[in-house]
């Protein structure tokens, strides 16, 4: 099949409107519990993280927002961080709460049996809402490390009740136009049970809370073999997919570059998304990267990630849906499958290069960034001080 050299107008329009939020933590040093390798030029503060994230957007034109983690990205003056970001052409995005690094949360946070610990965790989330407003954002993401390691360690049922009550207090702090998004994860750091392990649990809590509560799906938070595109279809059908955390996984929550291990899975997911028009801004789904770059250059890793999503979205949009519906109606199983595969195997890279040039962007954002000298410049400038790591 010959490569596609020009995008059809409707696909070009959709791609121009589609944006991907990047995480501040991707620009800091990260690693595993074995070792965190430092990289020259790694940001020393949230301002420098924003400057690096702005590079990803300058090269791709598709990542205009940066998610912040509170308190990792706490600054004295959030308004100053916001205007710094805006001067560099990006906006501050979702605020991510953090109840997983303090000793008080050893046995849970919003689910803890001790009301004093729950109070502290709820207050942290209310503080996050204040930061969110100062940042000019309207979304708070809640991912909880809560769970137990041993059967019998605590009451699963009581923890669900505590969770529901705690979330209700946080939800009551929302103003019009704001929302919380609740992320699920089936294991880690808890290994026996997690308090929000799956989309069903997250959805049940969101339904009980109200329309300003939505589910977050993170690719890496499922058991091997889970049909993630089914979950996407189901949550969209319910109007409750609030955000999607892109990354790639081989084993568990690997947080590697999206599309690296299984580009076909990414294609299948994005095809479910385009079938329900959820890639359009009007759908309100916040598409984000949730990744860490342990070995590779962080900005380059982020640019590669944005390009992987953009290329795969173009392929999903290329599927001949009329022909597919026809094959499905005729129960022509293999023809239907072939229509999907044709789009998947189409090389869209030349068309995307032309699409970028038309917008005044580098045809090859990855190569352009490498040639820009930015990394060498910041490596020379950012000496001394503490380079920030995951959790700094
Ligand atoms: C932990 O698993 C995690 O990767 C979640 O996916 C969150 O989205 C992210 O950390 C930031 O808190
Ligand atoms: Mn996530
Ligand atoms: Mn994760």
Length of the chain, please? Answer: 392
Going by DSSP bridges, is the β-strand pair 147-148/193-194 parallel, antiparallel, or unpaired? antiparallel
Q: Alpha-carbon distance 294 to 226, whole Å?
A: 26
Best probe residue, ligand 1, of 218, 258, 392 (max atoms within 8 Å of C-beta): 218
Residue 220 CA: nearest ligand 1 atom is 6
36 DSSP assignment? B
Q: Which residue in 24, 18, 67, 78 sits closest to 181, CA to CA? A: 67
Q: Alpha-carbon distance 94 to 139, whole Å?
A: 5
Q: Alpha-carbon distance 376 to 40, whole Å?
A: 9
389 DSSP assignment? B
What CATH number has the domain spanning 18-313?
3.20.20.150
Could you tell me the distance, in angstroms and rounded to a whole number, from the CA of residue 331 to the centre of ligand 3?
39
Residue 98 CA: nearest ligand 1 atom is 12
Q: Is the CB of 245 under 6 A from ligand 1?
A: yes
User: Which listed ligand is nearest to 141 at the C-alpha?
Assistant: 1
Q: Is the CB of 73 under 6 A from ligand 1?
A: no
Best probe residue, ligand 1, of 183, 191, 222 (max atoms within 8 Å of C-beta): 183
pTM of the model: 0.97
- Under 8 Å between Cβ of 52 and 27: yes
Domain boundaries, the chain: 18-313
Q: How far is CA 302 from CA 29, 52, 307, 382, in A?
A: 13, 10, 9, 20
- Under 8 Å between Cβ of 233 and 276: yes
97's tokens: 């709460």
Helices (H), 173-297: 199-209, 228-237, 263-275
Could you tell me the distance, in angstroms and rounded to a whole number, from the CA of residue 119 to the centre of ligand 2?
24
The burial of 218, by beta-carbon neighbours within 10 Å (0-12 exposed, 13-18 middle, 19 or more buried), is given as: buried
355's tokens: 């699409």
Residue 183 CA: nearest ligand 1 atom is 8
Q: What are phi and psi of 143, to 5 degrees?
A: -120, 125
Could you tell me the distance, in angstroms and rounded to a whole number, from the CA of residue 183 to the centre of ligand 3?
9
Could you tell me the distance, in angstroms and rounded to a whole number, from the CA of residue 27 to the centre of ligand 2?
15
Q: Is the CB of 183 under 6 A from ligand 1?
A: yes
User: If you take atom 3 of ligand 1, which residue's CA is the nearest one?
Assistant: 143
Best probe residue, ligand 1, of 71, 97, 143, 293 (max atoms within 8 Å of C-beta): 143
Q: Alpha-carbon distance 323 to 339, whole Å?
A: 8
360 DSSP assignment? T
Q: Is the CB of 29 under 6 A from ligand 1?
A: no
Could you tell me the distance, in angstroms and rounded to a whole number, from the CA of residue 222 to the centre of ligand 1?
13
Other CB atoms within 10 A of residue 38 CB: 10
Residue 216 CA: nearest ligand 1 atom is 8
Q: Is the CB of 218 under 6 A from ligand 1?
A: yes
- The CB-side HSE value for 196 (13 A sphere, CA atoms) comes to 29
26's tokens: 């991707």
- Under 8 Å between Cβ of 253 and 221: yes
174 DSSP assignment? P
Q: Is the CB of 21 under 6 A from ligand 1?
A: no
Low-confidence ranges of the chain (pLDDT < 70): 384-387, 390-392
Q: Is the CB of 143 under 6 A from ligand 1?
A: yes
**Terminal CA-CA length for the chain:** 48
Residue 185 CA: nearest ligand 1 atom is 2
Collapsed DSSP state (helix, strand, coil) of residue 248: strand
Q: How far is CA 206 from CA 130, 159, 341, in A?
A: 21, 16, 36
Could you tell me the distance, in angstroms and rounded to a whole number, from the CA of residue 382 to the centre of ligand 1?
27
pLDDT of residue 1: 78
User: If you take atom 4 of ligand 1, which residue's CA is the nearest one?
Assistant: 290
183's tokens: 């992320």
Q: How far is CA 287 from CA 19, 47, 260, 330, in A?
A: 7, 23, 17, 35
344-374 confidence digits (pLDDT tens)? 999 999 999 999 999 999 999 999 999 999 9
- Under 8 Å between Cβ of 164 and 208: yes
Q: Which residue in 5, 64, 12, 1 sits closest to 313, CA to CA? A: 12
Q: How far is CA 332 from CA 89, 317, 323, 328, 329, in A?
A: 49, 21, 11, 6, 8
Could you tell me the distance, in angstroms and rounded to a whole number, from the CA of residue 355 to the centre of ligand 3?
32
Collapsed DSSP state (helix, strand, coil) of residue 132: helix
User: Which listed ligand is nearest to 143 at the C-alpha?
Assistant: 1
């Amino acid at each position: 099949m010959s490569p596609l050299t020009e995008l059809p107008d409707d696909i070009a329009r959709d791609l121009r409107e589609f944006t991907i939020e990047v995480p501040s933590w991707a620009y800091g040093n990260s690693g595993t519990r074995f070792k965190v390798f430092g990289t020259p030029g790694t940001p020393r503060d949230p301002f420098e993280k924003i400057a690096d994230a702005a590079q990803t957007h300058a090269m791709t034109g598709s990542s205009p927002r940066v998610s912040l983690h509170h308190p990792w990205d706490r600054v004295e003056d959030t308004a100053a961080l916001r205007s710094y970001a805006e001067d560099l052409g990006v906006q501050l995005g979702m605020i991510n709460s953090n109840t997983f690094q303090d000793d008080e949360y050893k046995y849970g946070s919003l689910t803890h049996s001790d009301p004093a610990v729950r109070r502290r965790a709820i207050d942290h989330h209310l503080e996050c809402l204040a930061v969110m407003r100062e940042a000019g954002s309207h979304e708070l993401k809640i991912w909880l490390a809560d769970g137990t390691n041993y059967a019998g360690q605590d009451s699963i049922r009581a923890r669900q009740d505590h969770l529901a009550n705690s979330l209700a207090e946080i939800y009551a702090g929302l103003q019009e136009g704001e929302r919380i998004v609740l992320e699920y994860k089936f294991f880690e750091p808890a290994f026996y049970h997690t308090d929000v392990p799956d989309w069903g649990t997250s959805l049940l809590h969101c339904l009980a809370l109200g329309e300003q509560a939505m589910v977050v799906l993170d690719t890496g938070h499922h058991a091997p073999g889970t049909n993630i595109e089914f979950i996407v279809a189901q949550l969209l059908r319910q109007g409750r997919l609030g955000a999607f955390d892109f990354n790639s996984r081989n084993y568990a929550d690997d947080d590697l570059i999206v599309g690296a291990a299984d580009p076909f899975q990414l294609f299948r997911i994005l095809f479910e998304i385009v079938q329900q028009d959820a890639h359009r801004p009007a759908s309100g789904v916040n598409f984000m990267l949730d990744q860490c770059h342990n070995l590779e250059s962080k900005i380059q890793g982020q640019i590669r990630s944005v390009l992987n999503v953009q290329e795969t979205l173009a392929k999903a949009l290329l599927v001949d849906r009329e022909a597919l519906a026809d094959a499905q109606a005729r129960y022509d199983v293999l023809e239907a499958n072939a229509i999907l595969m044709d789009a998947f195997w189409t090389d869209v890279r030349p068309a995307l290069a032309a699409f970028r040039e038309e917008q005044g962007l580098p045809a090859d954002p990855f190569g352009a960034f490498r040639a820009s000298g930015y990394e060498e410049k910041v490596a020379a400038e950012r000496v001394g001080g503490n380079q920030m790591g995951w959790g700094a």
